[in-house]
Amino acid sequence: MPKSRSSLACAALLLAVLFVVAPITAAETFQETIRRYDTLAVDASSRDAKGMVLRSGRMVLRVADGRVAPVRAGTEVVGLFVAGTGRFEFVSTDAVEHPVVKYTAKKNSGLDVSQAEGGLVLTEAFSSALWLASGAPLPALPETAEAGSLADAFGKHRERFGNVAQRPVAMDLARARLDAPAQPWVRVEATGSADDLVYLLDGVADRAESLSVASRFQYAAGSGDSRKFVTVLSEQPVGRDRRQPVPSTYLLTDVDLSLTASDGESAALTVTETFQAVAAQPGVLFLDLYSAINRRDNHGNVVPKEVRLKGVFDEGGRPVEHVHRDSHLAVRLREPLARGRGTKLRFEIEGDLLYRPGGDNYWELGTEPWFPQPELSCQFYTVHATVKVKKPFVPLVPGTTVRRIEEGDYNLLETRIAKPVQLFVVIAGKYRFEEETKDGLTIRVASYGGPNRMAYRKLLELSRKMIEYYSGFLGAFPFEEFNIVEINSYGYGQAPPAFMFITTEAFNPIQGEVNQVFSQGINERFAHEIAHQWWGHVVKMPSADEQWISESFAEYSAALLIRDLRGKSDYKGLLAHWRRRANEARDVAPVALATRVRARNDLETSWNLRTALLYSKGPLVLEALHRELGDRPFLVFLATLQSNLTWRFGPTGLVQQVLNAVAKKDYGPFLEKYYWGIEMPPAK
């Protein structure tokens, strides 16, 4: 006998109330919680959902015809599943992101994009949707008669979204329920007519609302990775201003690691990390750590390499609950972090971490998650590192040298970094090096494959000259030692703390045609990477939206060096090059959202547009400021940024405050047009 209308309404209300208040039981382990949230099930019966409207923030699902049923994790109701036909709608109300929303939606999805009074509207038909929530009531079930099971449709939906390259949803849901049960967290997966759409309202950590599309990329599949990758179409702040990044809930403040490397691919790693609370009392920490790495062998075949997390332990040596999967690590602390009191965790790791590109005689543990690391805005750590590598390999590690010794069959190097950094790296191989100490700074140049005394002298002299130039207005070099390390490749440089990776043409700039091609502009690239020791390490970018504080400021500092040490004609040539490149990306995105530019299956275009914004338009914004302020006030502006934000994060809001104070003028409108907007700064 069908239920009465009033009993159906009461049941719907009871379902919502139970969902909001149902706690995770104390007897349940963290692994059991994650497992339960992994194995979701749809109820055996469903209801007619025709005409149902489901809303969250700026997103609406309108069901034309179909059915809906509760979704459970064990006995706990955590969501709803809709199968049928309908319309997915999302509105971007933030004008700053509208250019990049239009570009990415066109290049990565089949969504219709239209302008309306409320903003930019993205719409697409959908056939199924999984709605998960915490800290917010579920949409009420319609008061309709019960119907059949949606288990088959639910299984197909889960399979379709089960291969998305992002943190497992179970981890996000568990953290939301454990750490912030009163804060809204809503995730909706919708199968569009042409796309897999992911909507997220995150009031727990990011305080943002986003719409993304998940799709396979041909270049990734060619490397053996068939997962679907997420492209952000829209991401808008909730309850905050985009111009002030959300503060991190916790920081990684110290890393003490011991690495023992074999003469093959395997390594053993012990890392003790200290975490401190900042804006909350988190009980669950999210970290990135490889669990598997796809590497190419010498025949071009993709071979998966395993990394094993043997255990996580507290200061007393007691095991700490954790889940490590898909290169994501969630750790549940015994007690939530309390402000003013750090918590130490020890991680024991082993596996095939070491990779020799092209079969060369070196390996690099770079800026990827080879040891447990939080997101970039949570990295603020000092370092003590001990690295042992099998002879004849020689280790090179950032930091002040404590000892470099031989220990049986191993070469051992111990270093310390006393200032907070990000992006710690280790490299080892058949390296020879020469070093020079002057005025308290040791510069070390390491060549690959054998000694290169001509390069040693040239690069020691060049780097010291550049450091002396920057120190004149950016302050003293921030580290006691600086390593310049040859990478056996062409055409790039990279600047971890107290380190520079630079490719072969810097060591042999006139040898061979390939070297001659890539040695064009090597001095500017060398200057750019040295400038990163100030822009990127002393003053840090707090989020991807603020990458210009690292790249654009380093690029313009390098241009000033080129102007003053090589001549104005080279400087003018750089300005002309920047303007040509910047014009290619002028309508795609503002500088602030350069890292969101992506064209599906066109990695080259995506990269070129991003670099045009960060390495060309961003420096042009600074050049326009330079012309308006004049030489001395502009250098005072850069120096004041370095002194006021020393070893701190440097959001553009603070950059603007310093600029206003130095210039005694409000530069908010200037930055709105040229940094947050897509207008080009005026030419001279």
Is 603 within 8 Å of 219 (Cβ atoms)? Answer: yes
Round to whole Å and give the CA distance between 492 and 488: 11
Round to whole Å and give the CA distance between 568 and 559: 10
Select from 129, 48, 41 the least CA-distant residue to 83: 129
CA torsion sign, 181 to 290 to 498 to 547? negative
- Percent pLDDT > 70 in the chain is 93
Q: 643 vs 515, which has greater pLDDT?
A: 643
Round to whole Å and give the CA distance between 512 and 409: 37
pLDDT at 1 over 60: no
Amino acid occupying residue 547: Q
For the ranges 393-397, 502-506, 560-564, which has the lowest average pLDDT?
502-506
Q: Which residues contact 420 (CB under 8 A, 6 or more apart)?
A: 253, 380, 381, 382, 647
Nearest 5°: CA angle at 377, between 371 and 383? 45
The residues facing 348 across adjacent strands are: 270, 311
- Percent pLDDT > 90 in the chain is 80
- What are the pLDDT digits (tens) for 574-616? 999 999 999 999 999 999 999 999 998 888 999 999 999 999 9
Round to whole Å and give the CA distance between 262 and 352: 10
Is 8 within 8 Å of 143 (Cβ atoms)? Answer: yes
CA torsion sign, 7 to 10 to 16 to 20? negative
- pLDDT band at residue 299 under the 50/70/90 scheme: low
Residue-level pLDDT at 298 = 66
Distances in whole angstroms, Cα of residue 179 to Cα of each of 280, 328, 459, 486, 489: 9, 18, 51, 45, 46
- Counting Cα atoms < 13 Å in the Cβ hemisphere of 87 gives 10
Residue-level pLDDT at 491 = 80
Provide mean pLDDT across the span 110-139: 96
Residue-level pLDDT at 4 = 37
pLDDT at 22 over 70: no
The residues facing 128 across adjacent strands are: 83, 191
- pLDDT band at residue 366 under the 50/70/90 scheme: very high
For the ranges 387-401, 499-513, 527-541, which has the lowest average pLDDT?
499-513
Residue-level pLDDT at 9 = 36
- pLDDT band at residue 449 under the 50/70/90 scheme: confident
Residue-level pLDDT at 330 = 98
pLDDT at 12 over 90: no
pLDDT at 519 over 80: no
Is 569 within 8 Å of 266 (Cβ atoms)? Answer: no
- What are the pLDDT digits (tens) for 452-499? 999 999 999 999 999 999 999 999 999 999 999 999 887 889 999 999
Q: 521 vs 415, which has greater pLDDT?
A: 415
Residue-level pLDDT at 523 = 82
For the ranges 12-21, 158-167, 544-553, 583-592, which has the lowest average pLDDT?
12-21
Residue-level pLDDT at 510 = 52
Residue-level pLDDT at 296 = 72
Select from 368, 327, 101 the least CA-distant residue to 231: 101
Select from 276, 223, 499 the least CA-distant residue to 367: 499
Q: Which residues contact 484 (CB under 8 A, 6 or more apart)?
A: 443, 444, 445, 446, 459, 463, 500, 502
Distances in whole angstroms, Cα of residue 539 to Cα of each of 195, 292, 482, 643: 40, 33, 18, 9
Residue-level pLDDT at 18 = 37
Residue-level pLDDT at 137 = 93
Tell me the whole-structure pTM to 2 decimals. 0.92
> Mean pLDDT highest for which of 12-21, 297-306, 447-456?
447-456
Residue-level pLDDT at 518 = 34
- What are the pLDDT digits (tens) for 186-214? 999 999 988 999 999 999 999 999 999 99
For the ranges 194-208, 294-308, 406-420, which has the lowest average pLDDT?
294-308
Round to whole Å and give the CA distance between 678 and 666: 20
Provide mean pLDDT across the span 157-166: 94
Q: Helices 568-584 and 551-565 sit at what angle, rounded to 10 degrees? A: 150
Residue-level pLDDT at 406 = 97
Residue-level pLDDT at 226 = 81
- pLDDT band at residue 511 under the 50/70/90 scheme: low
Provide mean pLDDT across the span 164-178: 96
Residue-level pLDDT at 280 = 84
Is 388 within 8 Å of 267 (Cβ atoms)? Answer: no
Looking at every residue in the chain, the average pLDDT score rounds to 91
pLDDT at 127 over 50: yes
pLDDT at 622 over 50: yes
Provide mean pLDDT across the span 166-174: 96
Provide mean pLDDT across the span 549-570: 94
- pLDDT band at residue 397 under the 50/70/90 scheme: very high
Q: Helices 551-565 and 522-531 sit at what angle, rounded to 10 degrees? A: 130
Secondary-structure breakdown of the chain: helix, strand, coil percentages, each rounded to the nearest 5: 30, 35, 35
- What are the pLDDT digits (tens) for 41-77? 999 999 999 999 999 999 999 999 999 999 999 999 9
Residue identified by tokens 């949570």 is 378
Residue-level pLDDT at 464 = 95
Select from 379, 485, 480, 376 the least CA-distant residue to 427: 485
Nearest 5°: CA angle at 162, between 157 and 168? 125
